[in-house]
Amino acid sequence: MNRSAVYFGHVFHHRLRPRVHRFRYRVMSLLLDLDDLGELNQRLHFFSHNRFNLYAFYERDHGTGAPSGLKQDIQRQLEQHGINLDAGKILLLCYPRILGFVFNPLSVYYCYASDATLKAILYEVSNTFGERHSYLLPVSNDTPIRQAVDKCFYVSPFMPQDCRYHFRMQPPERRIGVHIEQSHANEPMFRASFTGVRRPLTDRILLQACLRYPLMTLKVFAGIHWEALRLWFKGMRIQPKPAPPALTVTCTPTPDSTVTDTDPTRTHSYGEHTYETH
C-alpha cells in the first residue's frame, strides 16, 4: 500500500511565560514513504523528487546529506543507536519545496519494523541559522505516544537552552497529531502542535493545496520572523547562542519511562484540542 499522503491542518503555538503569545496558521504537510519517492516522481505531474516542480522533495534538505540516500542515511543513524528496522518503512512528515523554496522547522520520521510496529520517532529540528539536529526516541506501547528529551540545540532566540521537550504523538493515520510542550525549571513554558486530516497524494489534491496554501513555505519562514518581531516588542530579549552539539543525533537509549504525570486528572491542551493524560 502507498503510505504517502497529504495532511491539511493547522499549526498552533502558545507561549505561556514570561510573556503570553500565541498564533495559529493553516498549513499542509506531506507524509512521504521514503520507498515511494521514485514512483511518486513518475506518477505525479506537480510533484518531483530531486528536481524543480510546483511541489518537490530534495533529499539533501534532510538528514546528513550522505550520498547513499536519505532512507539509508536514517537507517544508519538508527542502527548506530541499536535500532534495526530490517525491511521496515520510514515515513517522513515534512513541508515540501514549493516553487523551489522550503524551510522545515521540524521534520518527523516515523520508523517502522518489518511487522509494521512503530519502533522509533526521529525529530529533525532546523533553525534559521542553517543548522540541523535530530532527537531519536524509541517508542513504547503507550497510546498516545509520550516521549521526552532534554533540549540541546538552539532554535528560538527567545528560549533558554536548559529546557526539556515533552512529545505527545498521534501516528499518521486518517488524522495526525504532533504535540510538543517545552518546560523550563519543571514548569510548562511553550506548547506547539500540528493537527491534520489525511488526503491522498494526487495531482488534484496538490492543486487544491496550491490554492488553499499559496506559497506556504515562504509564509512559514516569513511568519517565524514576524512572530519574533512581535515577541521583541513584547519585551522579550535574545538568548545567547551556544555552539551546536558535536553529535548530529541525540538519542535516549530506551523508551522514556520518565514521562509521567503526578496528577492523574491533569489534561494537556494544545490549541483547540485537549488530551487526557489517563
Stretch 75-103: mean pLDDT: 95
Q: How confident is the model at residue 266 (pLDDT cuts 50, 70, 90)?
A: very low
Q: Chain-wide mean pLDDT for the chain?
A: 87
Domain around 114: 5-276
Task: Give the tens place of pLDDT for each residue, 142-177.
Answer: 778 999 999 999 998 878 899 999 999 999 999 999
Tell me: pLDDT of 52 over 60. yes
Residue 79: other Cβ atoms inside 10 A:
11
Number of domains comprising the chain? 1
Cα–Cα dist 57/69, whole Å: 13
Task: Give the tens place of pLDDT for each residue, 204-214.
Answer: 999 999 999 98
What is the predicted pLDDT for the residue at 178? 97
Stretch 214-224: mean pLDDT: 80
Check residue 63 and give left, alpha or beta (phi > 0: left; psi -120 to 50: alpha): left
Q: Strands 175-184 and 187-200: what pairing? A: antiparallel
